[in-house]
Amino acid sequence: MMDQSNHSSLHGFILLGFSEHPKLEMALSGVVTIFYLVTLLGNTAIILASLLDSHLHTPMYFFLRNLSFLDLCFTTSIIPQMLVNLWGPDKSISHVGCLIQLYVYMWLGSIECLLLAVMSYNRFTAVCKPLHYLVIMSPHLCLKMVITVWTISLVNSVVLCTLTLNLPRCGNNILDHFLCELPAMLKLACIDTTAVEVSVFALGIVIVLTPLMLILISYGYIAKAVLGMKSKSGQRKAVNTCGSHLTVVSIFYGAIIYMYLQPGNNAAKDQGKFLTVFYTIITPSLNPLIYTLRNKDMKDALRKLMRVEHKATKVRRSWKSERY
């Protein structure tokens, strides 16, 4: 370890990950690979199906495409490097690679928090103001909301990560994690980090808890509107429309709040790592399943996509057989 640490001090950081449990690393690498493939296939299928099916060119599916694209970027910024570290004895990551991962990870994580809030507002408008829905949620407003979410999240990432990286590390370069994450980077500092931790907590409230409060308020109004509906079919449609999003919100926010907004000394050593695996790797793979299993329009669009792909495959095979 000493040689590796000296080497990394010149070139980057050591990611300990789960190196104390070699058997766990082997099992975890297989699980992560499977979930990553599911994430890639599921989210790509949602993007293609919602783009190709004209019936899905609505604000709801516009935001869902953004969420799927975000999940693809989010997991790809983490998993390839994680698998490299899990598969071999080299646990190092370059200095530049660590910085890029830190900024991108924080940026994309912040986007997901805010985007879920925007999606809840879209659900609120669809259920509570159906007659004015398409006027309120115009394509221009939808695009503007998404750009605002990405911009605010970028500013949050730049501020928090820059504050953290400016702390002196006194040569410390061993991260007790499997990725370059902000709490793990804070632990490398050799001075009192109270001021930075307060800043992280304050911005965490803005980026995490404020959107969550907006989501809860939106669903409070939605619940009131659904209970006031006389039509049972209308109630079922509203529940199906909102149920998928509410499930994703519960899983994502439950894990991230427990991870970031609790005192660090109360958690077990590896607990934070498993929670990070859950909300950064497993949750993005569940999103396509949650949205497609509860959504008839999306299932129909995916069937059409599969039929198109099947026909394209038959055409390619026929062309090859005629050629040879």
pLDDT tens for the 324 residues of the chain, in order:
334 433 434 468 888 877 777 788 888 888 889 999 999 998 998 898 888 888 888 898 899 899 999 999 999 998 888 888 888 777 888 888 899 999 999 999 899 989 999 999 998 998 888 889 989 999 999 999 999 999 999 999 999 999 888 888 887 888 888 888 888 888 888 888 888 888 888 887 888 888 989 999 998 998 888 888 877 777 777 777 677 778 888 888 877 777 665 554 444 556 667 777 777 888 888 887 777 766 666 777 777 777 766 555 655 555 555 555
Gap between the Cα atoms of 317 and 321, Å rounded: 6
Residue-wise burial string across 45-57, b where 16 or more C-beta atoms lie within 10 A, e elsewhere = bbbbbbeebeebe
pLDDT for residue 294: 61
Gap between the Cα atoms of 164 and 48, Å rounded: 38
CB of 48 closer than 8 Å to CB of 298: no
pLDDT for residue 8: 39
**Interhelix angle for 210-227 vs 232-260, to 10°?**
160
Architecture of the domain defined by 2-313: Up-down Bundle (1.20)
Gap between the Cα atoms of 152 and 147, Å rounded: 9
Gap between the Cα atoms of 240 and 31, Å rounded: 30
Tokens standing for residue 199: 């800043």
pLDDT for residue 23: 80
Other C-beta atoms closer than 10 Å to the C-beta of 307 total 10
For 63, 67, 77, 169, 230, the CA distances from 273, given in Å and listed in that order, are 29, 24, 16, 22, 47
pLDDT for residue 260: 60
**Residues 6 or more apart from 100 whose CB is under 8 A from it?**
none
Report the candidate in 204, 190, 323, 187 with the shortest Cα–Cα distance to residue 262. Answer: 204
The DSSP letter of residue 129 is -
Task: Specify the long-range contacts of residues 303-307, CB closer than 8 Å, at least 24 apart.
Answer: 304/49, 304/52, 304/53, 305/45, 305/48, 305/49, 305/52, 305/53
**CA 89 to chain CA centroid, nearest Å:** 28
pLDDT for residue 312: 55
pLDDT for residue 114: 93
pLDDT for residue 3: 41
pLDDT for residue 295: 67
Tokens standing for residue 243: 């149920």
Please report, for the chain, the start and end positions of each structural domain, with discontinuous segments joined by +.
2-313
